[in-house]
Amino acid sequence: MGTETAAVRRGRKFDQVLEGAREVFLRDGFEGANVDDIARAAGVSKATLYSYFPDKRLLFMEMATRQCQRQADEALMTIESGRPPAEVLPRVARSFLGFVLSDMGQRIFRICVAEADRFPDLGQKFYQSGPMLMKRKLLDYMAAAAARGELHTPDPDLAADQFVELCKADLWAKLVFGLRVSFTEAEIARVVEGAVATFLARYGR
């Protein structure tokens, strides 16, 4: 069935299929993932898999979306609107880095980039299901902190984006270009502390 008319159908083994898909996609990538392997990993027949997901693209998008939403939900739990920025922002930074530096986060990111030309909506779905949700919650928190006189952010969108970029300083580039595969707690703490200090130096009151 063409992707223009294909639709996801939920059923009793829906989660089982997604777990099998997660294992295979993260191991083999989007292009290398084989539907037979996914069905085998999920413990279902290929007919059952296709009854839920008429094409591989929809299956990947559902798997990636679920993983991003799970991480976003965890990140949102760290944002307590009534707490001061010096307390909340380090938690947000660590939660964000916990996903983007993880093996799963890296694999999903690489697959989205690799398939961006053929399936541009993969990257859009990835962004909307995780990073965008986190940014919206961060913007809500910044507005509350500004109302209390703790922050001054004339351009909240820019401020939120700058904080995210500060959190990726040094670590992200080394991981993406294969210079490093992991980081110590001290290295992560250095970046988190620097990101929060720089952000508050510019926007704190």
Residue 112 has pLDDT above 90, yes or no: no
Query: Could you tell me the pLDDT band of residue 9, with boundaries at 50, 70 and 90?
Result: confident
Query: Could you tell me the pLDDT band of residue 188, with boundaries at 50, 70 and 90?
Result: very high
Mean pLDDT of 62-82: 77
Among 109, 99, 95, CA closest to 25: 109
Residue 1 has pLDDT above 70, yes or no: no
Q: In the predicted model, what is the mean pLDDT of the chain?
A: 87
Residue 63 has pLDDT above 60, yes or no: yes
Q: How far apart are CA 128 and CA 148, in angstroms?
A: 29
More reliable by pLDDT, 84 or 134: 84
Among 27-31, 45-49, 67-71, 116-120, top mean pLDDT goes to 45-49
Task: For 8, list phi and psi in degrees, rounded to 5.
Answer: -80, 135
Of the ranges 37-46, 54-63, 111-120, 131-140, which one carries the lowest mean pLDDT score?
111-120
Residue 204, SS3? strand
| pTM of this structure | 0.79
Asked if residues 85 and 150 have their Cβ atoms less than 8 Å apart, the reply is yes
Query: Could you tell me the pLDDT band of residue 157, with boundaries at 50, 70 and 90?
Result: very high
More reliable by pLDDT, 118 or 140: 140
Q: E strands within the chain?
A: none
CATH superfamily, domain 63-203, is Tetracycline Repressor, domain 2 (1.10.357.10)
Asked if residues 25 and 1 have their Cβ atoms less than 8 Å apart, the reply is no
